[in-house]
Structure 1
């Protein structure tokens, strides 16, 4: 049986914090009330995203419009870490005072853990009863300028080094993962299968690596960094031009079936039988620029037992409050 000897947990980091608020409101209810639907070896490590008007946004142009306070409170209710995707690579000093992004940091710091401990821990209240503490919230970040600013102003947030840095040289990844600034580091997906080098890392560094599982970008792409920089400039209002992708099949858009053929793709079997036995536990699912229907397919594939996938799909699609697209 797949993964029968695996005793550790896998933590998934899911897309669409602001983009799919209504979707997660229903999905997290299933997650909490019907854990028998889901693999018992997996957990939700975080949900990440950014609203459409976030100046510090990067990676993908945000289109989320959910109310930030409602979003923060929803994840606080389920003790799940929220991550702000502030991976803009083109920020300058004058951008640090942006009201919207600072306000977002205030809201998520207020609604998250205020001590540097594990994401979710058990604490005793005054009566001696055990209850769960809040999950610590974080920021996915590219710019060291922004990192220094946030460390000083919002010390209760943790930081994730963004895959938008496009660190394709393993030595650069090693240098990044040893930095104390980052709780997690997301490697470029081209390094996902560098097992000979990954396997030699100390466990404390393996614990920090968060692998991007379902990237559809062309494995041989040489324009990935330029694409991210274009998104950053658009967020700052400094360009209206889109980056023109020259990769094969770029005109077809994202397809999960194509992502599965990518040499960097990490399958469910890979997670259970390769990565977890090697000591890796953090896995990121991309998709905040996609529709909620395809995000559901990602969650079904990676988290839901086969015999319950139709049940979960029905629960989500037949919910009258949702309009999956």
Structure 2
């Protein structure tokens, strides 16, 4: 391996308390964690953001508090503004613009926005040029040629492919170095590989964030009623485990890996941090420090 894995973690606003407990451990006890990985960014959005398109955010801490925490640890913050159904009149939204203004004026590290819709991309490029932009997996680009076109778009610093392209290794290996540097794999998706309704699911979330009165999306995938299970995600043929990262993706020249989980509980996010970043012999120590030395409420 000649490069490091950079993880892009969920819950910038949603799991502030967890990161406030975890990041000091990550800095002060770096030997607890794999030396081949770092935190590339933390992504999320507060509640009631009409530009949001991922799972609706929440959290009690202000954007300034969130930014200050990330800056203290030199971690990039990303706003999840991946609503796919925005219209021109939505671009003037005061709350979303204030967030972009704050994030774009923040000193290093540079902050970004995860985007699905070209209308919003054009607006942000013109008004907040100091932000970088990430092409969202909510575009559901399942054809490899679509991924290549997205990677060749100079507007995007990173592109998150549909998870079903994770194991297209023969085609992925043929990408240029510049293209590989922009790919950000979604590692732990639990969604059914054969799902043909994923885009409708994301659009349902977009409608709700716009305040539309619409019924919930009903997932028809096998065992959908169970909800997210990390154990089930691990059984998916598209799952990227730490051995895959070490032995396949890093040697191929890929270095960016996204962990999903904004709609989950902080206890499960901690399990992701333990699995993907923490040496097995130190996982109990990390758990104990977070459980016993903080006010973090995992339930």
Which range, TM-score by smaller chain? Answer: over 0.9
Aligned to 2:285: 311
Q: Return the alpha-carbon distance in structure 1 between the equivalents of residues 244 and 213 of structure 2.
A: 40
Aligned to 1:87: 82
Q: Which runs of 4+ in 1 moved over 6 A?
A: none
Aligned to 1:273: 247
Q: What value does the CA root-mean-square deviation take over the aligned residues?
A: 0.8
Task: Give the alignment partner of residue 52 of structure 1, picking from 47, 52, 56.
Answer: 47
Unaligned runs of 5+ in 2: none
Deviations 1:60-87 (A, max 9, x none): 1223342111001111111100000000
**TM-score, normalization by structure 2:** 0.99
Aligned to 2:19: 24
Q: Return the alpha-carbon distance in structure 1 between the equivalents of residues 215 and 24 of structure 2.
A: 40
Q: Return the alpha-carbon distance in structure 2 between the equivalents of residues 213 and 320 of structure 1.
A: 29
Determine which structure has the larger helix proportion and give its number: 2
Task: Give the alignment partner of residue 259 of structure 2, picking from 285, 289, 295.
Answer: 285
Unaligned runs of 5+ in 1: 1-5, 113-133
Aligned to 1:216: 190
Q: Return the alpha-carbon distance in structure 2 between the equivalents of residues 86 and 319 of structure 1.
A: 34
Aligned to 1:324: 298
Aligned to 2:201: 227
**TM-score, normalization by structure 1:** 0.91
How far did residue 320 of structure 1 move?
3.8
Deviations 1:184-217 (A, max 9, x none): 0000000000011000000110000000000000
Task: Give the alignment partner of residue 42 of structure 1, picking from 37, 46, 50.
Answer: 37
Deviations 1:41-66 (A, max 9, x none): 10000000011111100121223342
Match status 1:150 vs 2:145: no
**Number of aligned residues:** 299
Match status 1:135 vs 2:130: no
CA contact (8 A) 2:21 2:294 kept: no
